[in-house]
């Protein structure tokens, strides 16, 4: 079976560079989708409290027969639980839903810069969770360079990862560079821009050249840049396609042709102005 390379995080924890994301996978379908991903070979699952499908991920883990140590699981604190005590309680519920005693990575999902709780307070709760050993690593998501710099300046534990929107149309080079300087690994979410980049003529041309699909060349481009990715699909053939990335390479010209597609196009909210809190 294909072996996915690991990336070593700043605390020595290893994370598979390719995983499986479950955003927008309906809760009732999550167990089956994750079991399919396990069958194909994925050993890294990215979920979140906001997705309301942590339980399905936990059920798949239990049903899979895989050893706990062989699967890397990430979840994220929902908006609305940023206050210190709320964050601790929400984390307890995550472990319960996943049916595990220790998570591999727990993230602040969004910085929410203008709500009445500063993300520095939220981070102190994550630091306590990390200190207790119930999370092997902690990190952030959707932090712009200035959020990340302030967090690192004002707190003790440097985040292990920053999970940001990333694909050929939105590369966030400034955030990637700031993360690298601070020793924070970058995870690129919506790595194929939810499908929006797949018809791009530059990408289909590279795909034809290397005899692969557009999704495969875009995912391969991410891996060669060193970022961590977890594409989402509930279609088995695509789940397999998105995993078959380790028997070909893009050359420098092909990498450059994809990098040249940058156009500042977000598929999701702008972290500097996004302060949305869902109903509890």
CA dist., res. 228 & res. 232, Å (int): 13
Q: Out of 15, 215, 223, 258, which residue is the one contacting ligand NAD (CB under 6 A)?
A: 215
Stretch that binds ligand NAD, among 96-104, 185-193, 247-255, 256-264 (CB under 6 A): 185-193
Instruction: Find tokens 């706990």 and name the residue.
Output: 68
Taking CB under 6 A as the rule, does residue 46 contact ligand NAD?
yes
Q: Out of 148, 193, 203, 223, which residue is the one contacting ligand NAD (CB under 6 A)?
A: 193
Distances in Å between the Cα of 20 and the Cα atoms of 37, 46, 280 are: 7, 6, 27
CA dist., res. 199 & res. 216, Å (int): 13
Q: With left for phi above 0 and alpha for psi between -120 and 50, is residue 248 left, alpha or beta? A: beta
Taking CB under 6 A as the rule, does residue 189 contact ligand NAD?
yes
Q: Out of 111, 139, 168, 231, which residue is the one contacting ligand NAD (CB under 6 A)?
A: 231
Instruction: Find tokens 């396609």 and name the residue.
Output: 241
Q: Out of 144, 207, 232, 254, which residue is the one contacting ligand NAD (CB under 6 A)?
A: 232
Q: Looking at beta carbons only, is 86 or 240 nearer to ligand NAD?
A: 240
Q: Looking at beta carbons only, is 46 or 200 nearer to ligand NAD?
A: 46
Catalytic-residue membership of 51: yes
Q: How many residues bind ligand NAD (CB under 6 A)?
A: 25
Q: State whether residue 133 is helix, strand or coil.
A: coil
DSSP assignment of 91-113, as one string? HHHHHHHHT-S-BSEEEE----T
As annotated, the active-site residues are 51
Summarize as ranges the residues that interact with ligand NAD (CB under 6 A): 21-23, 46, 109, 141-142, 163, 189-195, 198, 215, 230-233, 238, 241-242, 268
């Amino acid at each position: 079976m294909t072996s996915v390379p690991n990336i070593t995080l700043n605390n020595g924890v290893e994370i598979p560079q390719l995983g499986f994301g479950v955003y927008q996978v309906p809760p009732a379908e999550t167990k089956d989708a994750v079991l399919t991903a396990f069958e194909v070979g994925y050993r890294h699952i990215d979920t979140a409290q906001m997705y309301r499908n942590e339980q399905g991920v936990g059920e798949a883990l239990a049903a899979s027969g895989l050893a706990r140590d062989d699967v890397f699981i990430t979840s994220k604190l929902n908006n609305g639980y940023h206050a210190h005590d709320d964050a601790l309680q929400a984390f307890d519920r995550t472990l319960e839903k996943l049916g595990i005693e220790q998570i591999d990575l727990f993230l602040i999902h969004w910085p929410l810069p203008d709500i009445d709780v500063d993300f520095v307070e939220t981070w102190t709760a994550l630091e306590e969770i990390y200190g207790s050993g119930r999370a092997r690593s902690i990190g952030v998501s959707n932090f712009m360079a200035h959020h990340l710099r302030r967090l690192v300046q004002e707190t003790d534990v440097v985040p292990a990862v920053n999970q940001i929107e990333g694909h050929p149309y939105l590369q966030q080079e400034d955030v990637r560079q700031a993360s690298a300087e601070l020793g924070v690994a970058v995870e690129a979410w919506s790595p194929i821009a939810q499908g929006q980049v797949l018809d791009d003529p530059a990408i289909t041309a590279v795909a034809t050249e290397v005899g692969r699909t557009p999704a495969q060349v875009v995912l391969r481009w991410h891996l060669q840049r060193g970022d961590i990715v977890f594409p989402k699909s509930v279609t088995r053939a695509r789940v397999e396609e998105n995993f078959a990335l380790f028997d070909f390479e893009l050359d420098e010209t092909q990498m450059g042709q994809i990098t040249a597609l940058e156009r500042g196009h977000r598929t999701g909210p702008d972290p500097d102005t996004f302060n949305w809190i869902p109903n509890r």
